[in-house]
Amino acid sequence: MLIRDIIENSGEKYPEIPAIRWLVKKDIVDRTYRELLDNVKKIRKGLLAKGFAGKHISIIGVSSVEWMESYLGIMTGKNVAVPLDAGLPAEDLIDLINRSDSEGLFLTPKAEKLLEPVLNHCSALKNIWMLQEEGFVVPGEVSALAAEKNVIISDMTDFLEDGKIPADAPDSDRPAPDDIATIIFTSGTTGKSKGVMLTQNNLAANVESVDYESEPGSILLSVLPIHHAFCLVMDWMKGFSLGATICINDSLLHMVKNMGVFKPGVMLMVPLMIETIYKRLAAADPSIPKKVIADNVFGGRLHTIFTGGAHLDPYYIDKFEEYGVEVLEGYGMSECSPVISSNTVKEHKKGSIGKPLCNAEISFDNGEILVKSTSVMAGYYKMPQETEETLKDGWLHTGDKGYMDEDGFLFINGRVKNLIILSNGENISPEEIENKLALGELVGEVIITGENNGLTARIFPDPEVVQAKGYSEEEVKTELQKFLDEYNKAQPTYRQITGLVVRKNPFIKNSTRKIKRQDVLIDEPIEA
């Protein structure tokens, strides 16, 4: 199965249903499945006509109709799409364009200032297309530089303008199921980011294996970054397979407002979003019925939120249920296209990350979750050693520790890579302890590190609680120490916390809001 089969199938079945919906100022605009397919075909043919066959093409931008049409135009033919995080600094983007061997680039007009550095430093590029339908004017100095470097800069009229791509122009052959469709760079908290190579079949199998059904034309609001596999595959490809209308959230500033505008039934979120929305729900006047509050915040039709990417405190699952919204947690990683397991409408268990998808087989190696699946990546682009370390005998080593209960639900209780190995030979999963300590009233954020042959808790106290109780710095430390003393009482010696660092600032996070563990010892050392 190919993503091209999936979208062509929806195009045939639901030609008049809006596939993509977005806002232009305050007006709602739609692209039907028929129109989407027409544009995708024009871009695919246009790329072929310009000599792009078997090439790598980067895309830089936030969610937009142009982004998605370009992405599909690339990967439904014989080319490889490389979505990049538009929020990265120019030097990182240049590095990724070069490391992915991209010869073409689709670029959001908002990142116009990237043109010059990209032209100067990405020598393999032959074409740059700005992600806007028409009217992009190349600034004079950039135009001269592009001419010097032999790079053509244009916009989407290059493909979409009437007559630009003749109807009888040859279309690209269909890719083979094992062809690489996309390279997604992992945000990786350590070292150099890795380009995850996903095949056509990897992606299509993930779309088909996620157990979720909805009526054609059902509304889905996409709020996650589109260059992440979770958003790209589950919001978009899965949404297309169902004939859903996928609405674009123009900014995180407007997430709640846009729920009111688009009235989605389903959304995908990371836990942080759920926590933030809950603050709005909880702040409402308690005398107002919860149904009214929910309609006001969620737009009136939201019934399901799928979440993943980080651990969600099950507390929120209960709380959202009170407002009529079911929160279903799942688990995955880019290397697995991305979903490995998920709670479903029919089968779910609070605190678990659900049952493995039907295409996934799970095994454990010293507690580490291993996955064998038709969605497991082909490898990391040009990183044979890292590939070998992660893919062994066909098993993907996830780096996460977990277990499966008697009903077949998967649970996570730590990460192999963060394992603390003490000199007495004991292995400690810091996340397991962190999850327990995080329940402390005064604990805002906590990271456990192994130091001086013992465990240290680095705690950023919850500023709200500190404020509410009027604690001084000294009192905060005393209270936290009392809490740790109490915790230690119930633990074997090797799991006791022997050091405490009270942090002045929250931990540094990466772009997916995960704490950058390698930085915690550097930015506020133990003497702090």
Partner 1 sequence: MTSEMQFKKIVGQYCEVAPEDMTNDLRFREDLGFSSLDFMSFLGELEDEFDVELEEEDALKILTVGEALELLARLQEEG
Task: Write out the residues near partner 1 by the rule CB under 8 A.
Answer: 251-257, 272-273, 275-277, 279-280, 283, 444, 462-465, 467-468, 505-506, 509, 513
Minimum Å gap between C-beta 159 and partner 1 is 29
Of 256 and 416, nearer to partner 1 (C-beta) is 256
Nearer to partner 1, 5 or 275 (CB): 275
3-state SS, one letter per residue, for 426-469: CEECHHHHHHHHCCCCCEEEEEEEEECCEEEEEEEECHHHHHHH
Other CB atoms within a 10 A radius of the CB of residue 157 amount to 16
Task: Give the helix/strand (H/E) hosting 21.
Answer: strand 18-24
Q: Return the number of the residue (215 or 464) whose C-beta is nearest partner 1.
A: 464
Q: Minimum CB separation from partner 1 for residue 181, in Å?
A: 31
* CB closer to partner 1 out of 123 and 251: 251
Q: In terms of DSSP bridges, do strands 127-130 and 355-356 run parallel, antiparallel, or are they unpaired?
A: unpaired
SS3 annotation, 175-226? CCCCCEEEEEECCCCCCCCCEEEEEHHHHHHHHHHCCCCCCCCCEEEECCCC
Tell me the closest approach of the beta carbon of residue 265 to partner 1, in angstroms.
Answer: 21
Residue among 188 and 506 whose Cβ is closer to partner 1? 506
CB of 251 to partner 1, least distance (A): 6
DSSP H helices in 210-364: 229, 238-241, 255-262, 271-283, 290-298, 314-322
Smallest distance, partner 1 to C-beta of residue 239, A? 23
Length of the chain: 528
CB of 234 to partner 1, least distance (A): 20
* Distance in Å, CB of 6 to partner 1, minimum: 32
6 phi/psi in degrees, rounded to 5: -65, -45
Residue 180 or 273 having the CB closest to partner 1: 273
By DSSP bridging, strand 152-155 and strand 102-107 are unpaired
Q: Which is nearer to partner 1, 38 or 275 (CB)?
A: 275
Q: Which of 431, 443, 436, 422 is nearest to 515 (CA)?
A: 431
Check: CB of residue 226 under 8 Å from CB of residue 83.
Answer: yes
Name the region of 452 (left: φ>0; alpha: ψ -120 to 50; beta: rest): left
Please name the amino acid found at residue 306: F
CB of 508 to partner 1, least distance (A): 12
Q: How far is the CB of 225 from partner 1 (least distance, A)?
A: 13
SS (H, E, C) 83-125: EECCCCCHHHHHHHHHHCCEEEEEECHHHHHHHHHHHHHCCCC
Nearer to partner 1, 125 or 446 (CB): 446
Amino acid at 471: Y
For partner 1, give the closer residue by CB, 33 or 460. Answer: 460
CA 82 to chain centre: 15
255 or 438, CB closer to partner 1? 255
Q: Which DSSP state fits 174?
A: P
Q: Please tell me the distance from the alpha carbon of residue 136 to that of residue 106, in angstroms, as a whole number.
A: 13
In the complex, minimum distance from the CB of residue 43 to partner 1, in angstroms, rounded to a whole number: 28
